[in-house]
Amino acid sequence: MKVSKSFVATVVIISTLLVLAAVAVIIIAVFLTKAASSQTWNIYYRGNFRILNVPYNESLALSSSMEFFELADDIQTQLDLVYSQSELSKEFSRGQVVEFSFGSVKVELVLKFTGNGSIPASMMDAVKLAFQQSLTHVDMSTLTASLNHFLIDINSIQFTEISKAEADKVSLGGSAAPDSTVATSTDVPTQPTSGCGINAPTSSRIVGGTNAANGEWPWQVSLQVWSHVCGASIISDRWLISAAHCFQIYKNPTAWQVYMGSVEVGKGTRRDIKQIIVHPSYALNTPKDFDVAVLELSSPLSFSSHIQPICLPSSEQVFPTGQQCYITGWGKRAYEGSLADILQEAEVPIIGDQTCRDIYGSVFTPRMLCAGVLTEGVDSCQGDSGGPLACSDSRGTWFLAGIISFGDQCGLPNSPGVYVRVAAVRDWVEQQTGV
């Protein structure tokens, strides 16, 4: 039987198309498989357990107290060790103590894990097992075990999977924070709400500082009279807080312009100042004591990812010696140097009051605190005045521990920066602003 050339050509074309279609299907399947395997997932667990050898006291109910900070930091260190040394070391993102309950200390915590591809079906079991395997000195007669130096009630150990929204609500006291990991369609980070003290600092480390990223310090403000003069911090949609000495020359509110929402000086959202209220005790005793002022804006702010208030501490809140905090500002990067065009940030530890008294003598008052590196090189400088000394608590919420006030030049050895102790003037701030 003869086969026409046209018939053969048709068969060849059809066969070729079928082969190409099969290849296309294989390529699409491979692509979808790779896409699925590269998809990032986040999963959250709420856990709790009781510590039997730590006495409970009322200070542990306050996340702003030094007792809460120290115990939470200790427990979080143990959690980091548990999971960083387990089979979940690659997936473990963070652990955070959120609450201590009355009685024997009941620890409430949130754990976050992240990875690629599909979430392992046995994830919950792996989380529990890693915790259980870290326990030592297990005594089944008393149902106790040790987590390092903590004595744990075995029966109290519980883990429950929760959503990201629940994790944010628990860990931030009801305020959702942006998630720094890659989002999937089922885990979309929310924008910051009007809750205070929300940010996402980078790993980078003003004199001795580095450039900050947009949105990293969303409460930072530039106060300007034609050009940058001082810093300030947002504490509500209508109020800022700064240093009183910034207004010794330009006392009229109409002379000032306010910029926020950008790390570039003089850019971002602009507002005018309606009134300047300087602490009534400023300059009556010494020219440095009570160095605080609050500023009312001409119109309220609309909060966004780049404009947010910082939390004010309570009048009893303590920021312990050695705690690492951040200073930010557009001030000079060297004594008598030039101002920065991009917001600078630097990490500084809190310095004990007695050390400050030894350095500054009678100038140092209970309304002041010190922070800095005593060996020189990292410090606030001219133009940073009025800006924030921001410290985070164990929940990752940022508080205005201090307001940049004065120092001996910039970055000199044994001459740390001196800041207004915001907790000491907290009641006056609330009286003026309602915040």
Q: Respond yes or no: is residue 149 known to be catalytic.
A: no
CA distance 368 to 420: 5
DSSP-derived letter for residue 213 is: P
Give, for 30, the enclosing helix (H) or strand (E): helix 5-38
126-134's contacts with Cβ under 8 Å and 24+ in sequence apart are 126/86, 126/87, 126/88, 127/45, 127/88, 127/159, 128/157, 128/159, 130/82, 130/83, 130/86, 130/87, 130/88, 131/47, 131/82, 131/157, 131/159, 132/157, 133/86, 134/81, 134/82, 134/85, 134/86
Q: Respond yes or no: is residue 281 known to be catalytic.
A: no
- Active-site residue among 65, 86, 233, 245? 245
- Active-site residue among 291, 379, 384, 393? 291
Write down the residue that tokens 């086969």 correspond to: 3
| Of 179, 191, 207, 217, the residue nearest 400 (C-alpha) | 217
Q: Respond yes or no: is residue 245 known to be catalytic.
A: yes
- Active-site residue among 86, 236, 380, 385? 385
Contact assessment for residue 379 and residue 372, using Cβ atoms and an 8 Å cutoff: yes
Contact assessment for residue 320 and residue 70, using Cβ atoms and an 8 Å cutoff: yes
**Catalytic residue IDs:** 245, 291, 385
